[in-house]
Structure 1
């Protein structure tokens, strides 16, 4: 029998859940490279936890396809083929545009302000050649928009796609200067959100994803 008026005790994350979230985020934002070996020891040492939560986190990510068991004790970050990257890109275009169009009328002034702050910081990091840190902010930027659609199942689909493609962002780490195009696309998204214009936002997202995919495709082909 429940007691009316007694609020549930807040449930904090377990070490395994927190380790999983942190490792998952690292994979999504390209902190690990395709083909890189991942061990319970390396995860435990990095997250400063014991082997048990590290093993549980790795096991969950193997089941989600973010990590791959290639031997009895060998776990790696999968390296996607161009065909797989192309498939993911085509799906991303559809689901991310859907999320953004639904989210546009839900974007409050405070959310747009947060988006602008994130973009300002992202641009600062790019100028400092802090590319890895800028990838984390790029993820934050996109999901600030997508999560405003208030459709958790759609967000879960988008996150699963980022989880697969995230490590491939490492291929964009080249000696060449970073192109300015993505900055323009992000600024156009912000403008479209301020104007409550879903088409302007979705067009900018399409351009952003298309540019990123083509650049990634060209770089991978040049390495073959």
Structure 2
């Protein structure tokens, strides 16, 4: 694949952020959002050109992403998404379920009106993306909804662990969205919001588990 044509996530550089930090954050988000197609090698030089930077910060960012098991280094100039097996995918899905159900349950302690309204806004944006059949927006709004749900507490330690799993599953999300209506007939985010409003932990856990199962569980058959 010609790396300069890779559609990287749009992540403006933040005030006080070093070039190396920005490159890493943008590449990490691109992997998480499925912008690195499975099986396609990408060159370090091509990524540097796409970002408008030298190869040095790209190499460092990719080294960190390889350490997170988000990418594999093929040689000294190319990377790609790791191969996925049904067994590995099932383990990742199980890990997602365990971590995200627990993180969702812990959000009940901070689920005030403003917190729930923010999630409701994100869910409406997600619904609009589905209605428009906008794959990029569907992925981004889904990530935003879950990150907002799990990241409400200042001392949160689960979200970084969850994001490490998202990094490994992210490249396959576009496959999961190929036939969304068939596999995702119920709005599980709406169920989660209803559970938050009523303070029902068991219902919230069920909604998140079903969201993961319906959203990506069907990929197991394709990877088997």
TM-score normalized by the length of structure 1: 0.86
Q: Distance in 1 between matches of 2:169 and 2:217?
A: 14
1:39 and 1:74 in contact (8 A); partners too: yes
Residue in 1 that maps onto 2:187: 184
Assess, with a 3 A threshold, how the Cα gap between structure 1 residues 42 and 178 changes in structure 2: closer, same or farther: farther
Q: Label 1:50 to 1:183 Cα distance change in 2 as closer, same or farther (>3 A).
A: farther
Q: Does 1:148 align with 2:157?
A: no
Contact 2:44 2:79 in 1 (8 A): no
Aligned 1:78-89 pairs, distance under 5 A: 78-89=82-93
Which one of the candidate residues 190, 196, 221 is aligned to 1:218? 221
Distance (whole Å) between structure 2 residues aligned to residue 18 and residue 182 of structure 1: 38
The superposition leaves residues 19-47 of structure 1 with CA deviations (integer Å, 9 ceiling, x where unpaired) of 11111111112122112222222322333
Cα distance change of structure 1 residues 159 and 13 upon mapping to structure 2, 3 Å threshold: same
Structure 2 contact 188–208 (Cα < 8 Å) conserved: yes
Which residue is 1:163 aligned to?
Answer: 167
Structure exhibiting the larger radius of gyration computed from Cα positions: 1
Q: Shift of residue 84 of structure 1?
A: 0.3
Residue 37 (str. 1) matches residue 41 (str. 2): yes
| Structure 2: gaps of 5 or more residues | 1-14
The range that moved more, 135-144 or 41-50, is 41-50
The 1:183–1:16 alpha-carbon spacing in structure 2 relative to 1, beyond 3 Å, is farther
Distance in 2 (alpha carbons) for counterparts of 1:139 and 1:119: 11
Does structure 1 conserve the Cα–Cα contact (< 8 Å) formed by 2:44 and 2:78?
no
**Are positions 1:208 and 2:207 aligned together?**
no
Q: 2:3 aligns to what?
A: none
Deviation at 1:139, TM superposition (A): 0.6
C-alpha distance 206-173 of structure 1, shift in aligned 2 (>3 A): closer
- 1:4 corresponds in structure 2 to none
Matches within 5 A, 1:1-224: 12-174=16-178, 176=179, 178-179=181-182, 181=184, 184-221=187-224
Provide the alpha-carbon RMSD of the alignment: 2.1
User: C-alpha deviations, 1:97-124, integer Å up to 9, x for none?
Assistant: 1111011121222221111111111111
8 Å Cα contact 1:116/1:190 also seen in 2: yes
Larger CA deviation: 41-50 vs 163-172: 41-50
Task: Report the CA distance between 1:173 and its aligned residue.
Answer: 4.6
Structure 1 unaligned spans of 5+: 1-10
| Conservation of the 8 A alpha-carbon contact between 1:122 and 1:138 | yes
Which whole-Å CA distance do the structure 2 matches of 1:204 and 1:126 have between them? 19
Q: How many residue pairs are counted as aligned between the two chains?
A: 211
